[in-house]
Amino acid sequence: MKIVILNTSERTGGAAVAAGRLGKALRQAGIQVDKLIRENTWLNRFRFYWERLIIFICNHFRRKPLFQVSIANTGTDLSDHPLVKAADVIHLHWINQGFLSLADIRKLALIGKPIVWTMHDMWPCTAICHYSFGCERFKKECGECPFLSSSDKKDLSYHVFNKKRFLADSKIQLVAVSTWLRQQAQDSALTNRLPVEVIPNVIDTSLFVPSDKEEARKSLSLPLDKKIILMGAARINDPIKGFEYLVKALSILKERKGEEDYFLVLFGGIKGDDSFLSEIPIPYVCMGSLSDPSMIAKLYAAADVTVVASLYETFGQTIIEGMACGCPAVSFDNSGQTDIINHLENGYLAKYKDTDDLATGIKWVIDNREPLRLDEACIRKVHDCYQESVVAGRYIDLYRSLTSP
């Protein structure tokens, strides 16, 4: 069986990491996998900037939501590409920012080959947004888009939504990486007639493995006598990642017990000014952006708890990486992370945006990690549901169901 994976980037972004890990797992299972990405050419750079320019103009020259939406007005026609022609299944992942246009996706759908589209965010089932932030217009028809600050029922989102209507009549097989994301697809007027499977992202259990906590702390020069709380994100001050909720929860913990017991470790990039770090009420260190998985695995091993205070997670890659290393997580109970964390069994699900409950969850995990053997429960969940052979096997079964006579 030959699979061709299409993703905008080779390495940048969570979807790229997930697609790469899946490709590796499929190859280990004996499947031939090729990959097509957006090449770094002047034409593709022009396509990227052209799409952003249209959004910028239609948003009254406001930059704020420029990368929270995509319109797929330009891209590369891959319908005649040799790898696409040779494939038994075409597998789309995250294909935005000038890689595939809506017209390109439609041409692929018309080839007649099975297409699997793994949803890493909500874009396949909305007009233009990657996450709707509670807006439910995509359930009927987009328009008056809050991302565009628009009061026009026939704004850019309306026109893109109607261009996307071909999806409803296509034979594309959607895969959602969480139960929550599947529900969004099933609620959308664009995709509610398409089949949707839930298959999670794969975790590389050869990279993310448990190791000795004390040794990990020594190697990273982290304190041995503190309860270490870990937060990681591609961009720490991305509003979606909920840093402000973590800070409020830490303030509550400090009031309850004092700062001397806790130490915060952050890793990830920071956009612009880092003065927001001064709001942290307890001792902390920021490790910056990390690309070495072994270093990240050491951080998980060194920590007592991982906190993911995101306003939404389509999956929860940080949670699952930490759990693979035996580090339980605390997160809100609102989206994809609810598939991963079994409340009070391998972690804690706090009420959405409830910082008092978030603080309670952090303390609960720290107090109960050893007595309830939460680390063992975490590792079991990862090996049962997310390791390479399990996830690859589910995809292979899906591919076979689509290619069988």
Same domain, 220 and 182: no
Ranges of H-type helices in 222-354: 243-257, 293-302, 317-324
Same domain, 160 and 220: no
pLDDT 10s digit of each residue in the chain, 405 long?
999 999 999 888 889 999 999 999 999 999 999 999 999 899 999 999 999 999 999 888 877 777 889 999 999 999 999 999 999 999 999 999 999 999 999 999 999 999 999 999 999 999 999 999 889 999 999 999 999 988 899 999 999 999 999 999 998 999 999 999 999 999 999 999 999 999 999 999 999 999 999 999 999 999 999 999 999 998 999 888 999 999 999 999 998 876 578 999 999 999 888 899 999 999 999 999 998 889 999 999 999 999 999 999 999 999 999 999 999 999 999 999 999 999 999 999 999 999 999 999 999 999 999 999 999 999 999 999 999 999 999 999 999 999 987
d(CA 396, CA 405): 16
Retrieve residue 389's tokens. Answer: 């052979």
Same domain, 256 and 172: no
Same domain, 229 and 364: yes
Same domain, 282 and 192: no
Answer whether residue 311 is part of any domain.
yes
Please tell me the chain's helix, strand, coil percentages from 3-state DSSP, rounded to the nearest 5: 45, 15, 40
Same domain, 79 and 219: no
83 touches 4 (CB < 8 A):
yes
Residue ranges making up the domain that contains 374: 213-385
Residues 6+ apart with CB under 8 A from 151: 144
Same domain, 181 and 229: no
Nearest-Å Rg of the Cα atoms of the chain is: 22
Q: How many domains does the chain have?
A: 2
